[in-house]
Structure 1
Amino acid sequence: MNSKKKDFLISISIIFTFSLVIILYVNYVLISVFGLNQDNFIYIIIPLLVLGIIIFLSFTSSILKPLFTSDDNLQKNLKETIHELNIPVSTIKMNTQLLEKKITDEKSLKRLNRIKEASNNLIKLYEDMEYNIKKEIDKIEKQNCFLDEVIANSINKFDDIKKDTIIKSNVPDIKLLTDTNGFLKVIDNLILNAIKYNTKQDPEIDISFNDNILSIFNKGEKIDTKNLLIIFDRYYQTDPSHEGFGLGLNIVKEFCDKNKIIIKIDTHPNGNTFNLNIKNIIA
């Protein structure tokens, strides 16, 4: 348990105990003076409840204010730090692009490409960190986007790692209203998962849309029925030999639950299909 949570629990416990002691004392005085019977029961209990709430809220706001102020300052610092991180990252990217035009030596170009790849990875990490922090401390505004563009954007990311995998996509330009970055992460994770667990012979992924259902099929080993209930659990991996931490499908499920997207898995002898009912985010 971290110190802030511990301080919070201790503070609440002290406030509750203090409020309870005051209420019990006032209750004792009132009963001593007026007695307690059916006629005056409600006239004693209701004022005591109101008094208890007032006392509790009064002490809570004053004692817990420093804790909330600390959180506000932390959120402010995080936002400012994230914003400042974008400057050196953008500088690295801009200068590598300028150098790329001037350098002709093959070895130097290879080194420059490594820097370029590292800076692109850094930009991706920055974007992920910015999104995750913003998701926790701010309300993510929904934006308009198009389903076919999101799918195409995601597919393009995996050109270097899909190898022989054929990715087919037949998705219309349906307008969506959602957390665009979050939805793109969902598609990224589902396609990455489909690539990782695809069959080695003639690997194939088929993305389609029909009657509000976005389907992502991959050839491969059928998911065991007993694993269907735990496949979205954090850190769970069907095959631990694959790279990763078992977070991808948990991220998918978390986003779908939050945005009322029903996700189901259909298993087939030659593969598996992840079905997303996205009717609640169609604009």
Structure 2
Amino acid sequence: MSSKRRNFLISNSILIAFIVILILVTNYYLVNIFGFNKENFMLITSFLIILAIFLNSFLSKPLLEPLFKSDENLQKTIKETLHELNIPASTIQANVQMLERNIKDEKNIKRLLRIKQATNELLKLYNQMEYEIKKEIDKIDKQRFMLDEIIEHSIEKFEDIKKDIQIEKNLSDIVLYSDKNGFQKVIDNLLSNAIKYNDDKGLIKIEFKNSILGIYNSGKPIDTKNILMIFEQYYQEDSSKKGFGLGLNIVKEFCDKHAIEIKIDSNKAGTTFYLNLNNILK
């Protein structure tokens, strides 16, 4: 347990204990003064509840504020550090692009390519960390984006690992309004699972119809008893597959937050994940 969490629990426990003792003492004196009967029971109880709420509001701020202040300072430091990291990474990327135009030597071109790849990975990490911080403090900006662009971008990511799996898509010009990065993660994870649990020469179908996005894979069906468990953190139906069991948990967390209903249809013909996008359609 971290020291910050321990301090919070200790401070909160002391506050609750103090309020409970004070309320019990107040209750004792009020009962002695007014007696205990049906007429004054609700009056005394209501007074004690209001008093407890007031005391908690009044005393919790000075007691717990230092703990929350340290969190704010930490968030500020991380954001400032991330901003500073973005500047040199972007500078390296820009200069590599300029050097690429003039260098002809094959060995130097390969060195530049490695630098470029490393810089791109660094920028990806920067964007990921920035997104996670914004998500934690509920400051994710919603934006308009095209569904087919998200799907296409996701397919491109897995082009090298899908091997002989065929991917078919039937999408029209659908505009969504939501957290774009978060939705991209949802599609990435669903497509990754469709590839991971598919047959060697299997099929994936991605289709949008009547506000429902369906992602089908022709692999073996999910065991019925595991349907409700697959969204749990760290759960993997097949432990032989690579991964940490986080993908579908990320999908469920995003969909719950943005009121996207998820349904699963799994049988001998394969498995389809259905996402009702009605609440984020624009």
Q: Please confirm whether the aligned pair reaches a TM-score higher than 0.5, indicating the same fold.
A: yes
Residue 192 (structure 1) shift = 1.8
Report which stretch shifted further, 266-275 or 211-220. 266-275
Q: Corresponding residue for 1:274?
A: 273
Equivalence map 1:254-265=2 (5 Å): 254-265=253-264
State the alpha-carbon separation in 1 of the partners of residues 240 and 31 from structure 2: 71
Equivalence map 1:1-283=2 (5 Å): 1-201=1-201, 203-283=202-282
Report which stretch shifted further, 57-66 or 22-31. 22-31
SS of match in other structure, 2:4: helix
Amino acid at match of 1:194: A
Deviation sequence 1:215-265 (CA, Å, 0-9, x none): 112232233323322222222233333332221121111111211212222
Amino acid at match of 1:237: Q
Assess, with a 3 A threshold, how the Cα gap between structure 1 residues 6 and 149 changes in structure 2: closer, same or farther: same
Residue 46 (structure 1) shift = 3.5
State the alpha-carbon separation in 2 of the partners of residues 217 and 165 from structure 1: 12
Assess, with a 3 A threshold, how the Cα gap between structure 1 residues 29 and 194 changes in structure 2: closer, same or farther: closer
Residue 179 (structure 1) shift = 0.9
State the alpha-carbon separation in 2 of the partners of residues 34 and 140 from structure 1: 54
Whether the aligned pair in 2 keeps the contact of 1:186 and 1:251 (CA below 8 Å) is yes
Residue 173 (structure 1) shift = 0.7
Amino acid at match of 1:263: I
State the alpha-carbon separation in 2 of the partners of residues 204 and 42 from structure 1: 66
State the alpha-carbon separation in 2 of the partners of residues 247 and 16 from structure 1: 36
Report which stretch shifted further, 1-10 or 45-54. 45-54
SS of match in other structure, 1:48: helix
SS of match in other structure, 1:139: coil
Amino acid at match of 1:173: D
State the alpha-carbon separation in 1 of the partners of residues 44 and 228 from structure 2: 53
State the alpha-carbon separation in 1 of the partners of residues 176 and 227 from structure 2: 28
* Gap runs ≥5 in structure 1: none
Whether the aligned pair in 2 keeps the contact of 1:149 and 1:173 (CA below 8 Å) is no
Amino acid at match of 1:119: T
Residue 184 (structure 1) shift = 1.0
Identity of aligned residues (%): 57
Deviation sequence 1:194-232 (CA, Å, 0-9, x none): 22223213x332211111111112232233323322222
Amino acid at match of 1:225: T
State the alpha-carbon separation in 2 of the partners of residues 83 and 126 from structure 1: 9
Aligned length: 282
State the alpha-carbon separation in 1 of the partners of residues 270 and 42 from structure 2: 67
Amino acid at match of 1:75: Q
Assess, with a 3 A threshold, how the Cα gap between structure 1 residues 6 and 112 changes in structure 2: closer, same or farther: same
Residue 38 (structure 1) shift = 4.3
Q: TM-score, normalised by structure 1?
A: 0.89
State the alpha-carbon separation in 1 of the partners of residues 268 and 46 from structure 2: 66
SS of match in other structure, 1:199: coil
SS of match in other structure, 2:245: coil
- C-alpha RMSD of the superposition: 2.2
Assess, with a 3 A threshold, how the Cα gap between structure 1 residues 33 and 229 changes in structure 2: closer, same or farther: closer
Whether the aligned pair in 2 keeps the contact of 1:223 and 1:267 (CA below 8 Å) is yes
Q: TM-score, normalised by structure 2?
A: 0.90
Whether the aligned pair in 2 keeps the contact of 1:262 and 1:276 (CA below 8 Å) is yes
State the alpha-carbon separation in 2 of the partners of residues 50 and 38 from structure 1: 19
Assess, with a 3 A threshold, how the Cα gap between structure 1 residues 76 and 103 changes in structure 2: closer, same or farther: same
Amino acid at match of 2:20: L
State the alpha-carbon separation in 1 of the partners of residues 77 and 117 from structure 2: 29
Assess, with a 3 A threshold, how the Cα gap between structure 1 residues 101 and 196 changes in structure 2: closer, same or farther: farther
Assess, with a 3 A threshold, how the Cα gap between structure 1 residues 205 and 41 changes in structure 2: closer, same or farther: closer
State the alpha-carbon separation in 1 of the partners of residues 38 and 229 from structure 2: 55
* Gap runs ≥5 in structure 2: none
Residue 53 (structure 1) shift = 2.7
State the alpha-carbon separation in 1 of the partners of residues 49 and 266 from structure 2: 57
